[in-house]
Amino acid sequence: MNNLLDNLYKNQSIIFKFFLLALSVFFIVYFFPTGGQFKYEIIKGKPWQYENLYAPFDFAILKSDEEIAAEKSKIKKTHIPYFNFDVSTAQDVKDNWKDKIDASEDSLIKSRPVLENFISQTINQIYETGIKIQDDREQNSSIAFLIKSKQVEEVPYNDLLTQEDLKPFLIDKIESSDLSEVRNSILEIFFEVLKVNVSYDQDLNEKQIQSKFDQISYTRGRVTKDSKIIAKGEIIEGEKLRILKSLKHEYESQSLESSSYVVVITGYTCLVGLSLLMLLLFIRQYRPNIYDNNNKITFIFFNILFLVFLTLLVLKLDTDYIYVVPLCILPLTLKAFFDARLGLFTHMITVLILGLIVPDSYEYMFLQIIAGIVTILTVSELYKRANLFLSVVQITLVYIFAYFAFNMIKEGSISEINYNNFIYFLLSGVGLLFVQPLIYAYEKIFGLISDLSLLELSDTNSKLLKELANIAPGTFHHSLNVANLAEAAANEIGANSLLIRVGALYHDIGKMKNPIYFTENQTTSVSPHDELSPKESAEVIINHRLEGIEIAKRRNLPDRIIDFIRTHHGTTTVYYFYTKQKEEEEEEDINPEDFRYPGPIPFSKETAILMMCDSVEAASKSLKEPSTQLIDDFVEKIIDKQIQEDQFINANITFKEIQSIKKILKAKLNNIYHLRIEYPD
């Protein structure tokens, strides 16, 4: 039992990774669509590459989207509109027109008995169908339905007068009678009396149209079982394309039997699990520092799950919106926290997983992989807003260009390309702009650090660095010099120059606790070490590392920066006080461990570079009369001693890179001391 517990404890990291892998596979497969799958790839305009295909069962041929749209358009055009007829308004007009005549100041109107009969007949004629408001609806129907007192009456559509139709209608009526000389007065009466009483019944018309839409048949014709659909080598187009799409739709809409369901789920599980396992093995092989950090592995898998779920949600809503999902946010995010190679590989694994369930999977994977490559190639210095914006524009243009070219091949015509997808690509590009706030959120949740945060930390006006400059000005100046040397060395060998610069600025913040005990902060010839034993002095010097870690944690500095504080002295010895102790005591009575830093030793290129630069810069202050040869020997001696003490065995740095770093340090120190080549007399 104890052995089992010991093995579990020793292998807890591996167990966690496989648990995370299994959990991710479970969630992805659980939300995958589980309908039947069509096992053939349908590419319009391409030859059928499989054997002759026969119908496995009877199925209906689906109408195209264009046919359905045409039928709906026809229904709308031929729809007989319904109008509400306000009976009370018509009756009020009929009852009140005589009062208007009596109020008229025109004596001719009052003296004509025929006038009353004319107005009465005209009003009755008008309100047989009523007056409606002018509208811009396209109407091809010759009749309309009037709803009068809950009864429907069919009337000629043109008999429905609008307010704009009234004047010419009334003028014609008046001119055809004997009342033309009082036309204006009669018109005035009519316009004062007549009111709109017919309104378009929006709800009823929409219900009637929708009812007709529901009666549309989405199929035309059937294919019987065992009839040949397409032969090998035939071009996929026209009716054959429509039949193949109908068969594919039939497969995908079928509910699987329990036995088939288990088989499909097992297949999905194997493929998704294999894909994520390849990612895990890639990280283990090429990014061991990430593989050993379970927090980072969790972060990578979380991003994959997030984008897979987002894509599945869009697929469930409408497959037309599949390209709205900003999938390239994955390589963008991983590049910001890790590196471009890991970002691209993870993106491709995610695209392969989504290719199992998206429609037109080859086209989708082609576009997303191309866009992912462009993302990695174009996005640099993500913390610069202009760079991000320009990269998003380039990614969007590549999406549009690739989609356009792909569909030229598939459709064989520019006019048949679905240009709505161009809008979706633009929306996807807008989504990519949210990567910066997303990165900020990830930093807080997962405790990671990106270039955006490094840029903020590198500001020498930050509160902590200002304190360092005020309390320990010599240490602050030393840190600036080390930062400049380390940044140049990192650029030379392709390390993370921004990270190492920030690490160098903060690596000695522990000296703020007792600044006067460090020579760069001493302004007089009197040293507080004169009152301490060499062992006590060494203890004060060594403790600045631990005190720096405590300050960094209190100020919430990221772990990647604290790593520089931990490792910048490795397991080296405080040589000056160790030598001094040997002068005062016999060597047998001295424990070298009392004068040795506790480590750990550097475990990355960046921490190794900082150790070299810190040692060289600090020791260079002791040079009395520096020369080019003296500096060269001095740099070689310090770094070779660190190599002999195995300070870099855990850092993934090569001898060739160390030689390049030596070369940079020699050149920089020569520039600092303004040295020139010594010419012979």
pLDDT tens track for 459-515: 888 899 999 999 999 999 999 999 999 999 999 998 888 899 999 999 999 999 888
- The sign of the CA dihedral 581, 587, 589, 594 is positive
pLDDT tens-digit readout, 323-345: 999 999 999 899 888 888 999 99
* pLDDT of 158: 80
Q: Are 208 and 93 in contact (CB under 8 A)?
A: no
pLDDT digits (tens, 9 = 90+) for 602-660: 988 999 999 999 999 888 887 777 778 888 888 999 999 999 998 999 888 899 999 99
**Judging by DSSP bridges, how do beta strands 151-156 and 143-148 pair with one another?**
antiparallel
What's residue 70's pLDDT? 86
pLDDT over threshold 50, residue 679:
no
- Two structure tokens written together for 503: 């690490």
HSE, side-chain direction, 13 A CA sphere, residue 537: 21
Most confident of 192-196, 349-353, 567-571: 349-353
Residue 225: how many CB atoms within 10 A of its CB? Answer: 10
pLDDT at residue 237 in the model: 79
User: CA 674, CA 626: separation in Å to the nearest integer?
Assistant: 10
> Which residues does 299 contact at the CB level (< 8 Å), separation at least 6?
337, 442, 446, 448
Q: Each residue of 659-668: pLDDT tens digit?
A: 999 999 988 8
Neighbours of 211 (CB within 10 A): 10
**What is the rounded distance in angstroms from the CA atom of residue 273 to the CA atom of residue 148?**
68
Task: Say how many Å lie between the first and final Cα of the chain, rounded.
Answer: 82
pLDDT higher at 259 or 221:
221
Note the pLDDT of residue 5: 62
pLDDT band at 397 (very low <50, low <70, confident <90, very high): very high
Asked if 545 and 569 touch (Cβ cutoff 8 Å), the reply is: yes
For the chain, give the percent of residues with pLDDT over 90: 27
pLDDT: which is higher, 678 or 310: 310
Q: Which candidate, 167, 189, 168, places its Cα nearest to that of 116?
A: 189
Q: Per residue in 401-415, pLDDT tens?
A: 988 888 787 766 676
Q: In this structure, what token pair is assigned to residue 344?
A: 């691209």
Quote the pLDDT of residue 106: 55
Do residues 551 and 539 touch, judged by C-beta distance below 8 A? Answer: no
Three-state DSSP at 214 gives helix
What pLDDT does residue 28 have?
93
E strand or H helix at 653? none
Model pLDDT, residue 539: 87
Mean residue pLDDT of the chain comes to: 83
Q: Is the dihedral of CA 225, 228, 230, 232 positive or negative?
A: positive
412/237 Cα distance (integer angstroms): 10
Identify residue 194 by its one-letter amino acid code. L
Give the pLDDT band of residue 681 (cuts 50, 70, 90).
very low
CB 635 within 8 A of CB 616: yes
Please, which residues bridge with residue 152 across strands?
A: 147
Q: How large is the average pLDDT for residues 258-269?
A: 76
Does the pLDDT value for residue 221 go beyond 60? yes
8-62 confidence digits (pLDDT tens) = 666 788 889 999 999 999 999 988 876 556 666 777 777 877 778 888 777 888 8
- The hierarchical CATH code for the domain 451-672 is 1.10.3210
- Are the beta carbons of 510 and 544 closer than 8 angstroms? yes
Q: Per residue in 264-282, is it b (16+ CB within 10 Å) or e — as a string?
A: beeebbebbbebbeebbeb
Helix (H) or strand (E) holding 379: none
Query: For 45, phi and psi rounded to 5 degrees?
Result: 85, -5
Q: Where is average pLDDT lowest: 9-18, 188-197, 327-336, 586-595?
A: 586-595
Give, in order, the Cα–Cα distances in Å from 298 to each of 94, 294, 332.
81, 6, 17
pTM above 0.85, yes or no: no
Nearest C-alpha neighbor of 504 from the set 528, 529, 526, 478: 478
Highest mean pLDDT among 202-211, 296-305, 406-415, 626-635: 296-305
Predicted local distance difference test score (pLDDT) of residue 112: 56
* Whether residue 259 has pLDDT greater than 70: no
> Is 323 in contact with 424 (CB distance < 8 Å)?
yes
Residues 6+ apart with CB under 8 A from 21: 273, 276, 277, 280, 301
Map tokens 């004047």 to a residue. 167
What is the reported pLDDT for 128?
A: 80
- Write out 489-549 in H/E/C secondary structure: HHHHHCCCHHHHHHHHHHCCHHHHCCHHHCHHHCCCCCCHHHHCCHHHHHHHHHHHHHHHH
The contacts found for 297-300 with CB under 8 angstroms, 24 or more apart, are 297/17, 297/20, 298/20, 298/446, 299/337, 299/442, 299/446, 299/448, 300/334, 300/342, 300/346
- Among 51-65, 112-126, 219-233, 353-367, the range with the most confident prediction by mean pLDDT is 353-367
Neighbouring CB atoms inside 10 A of 181's CB total: 10
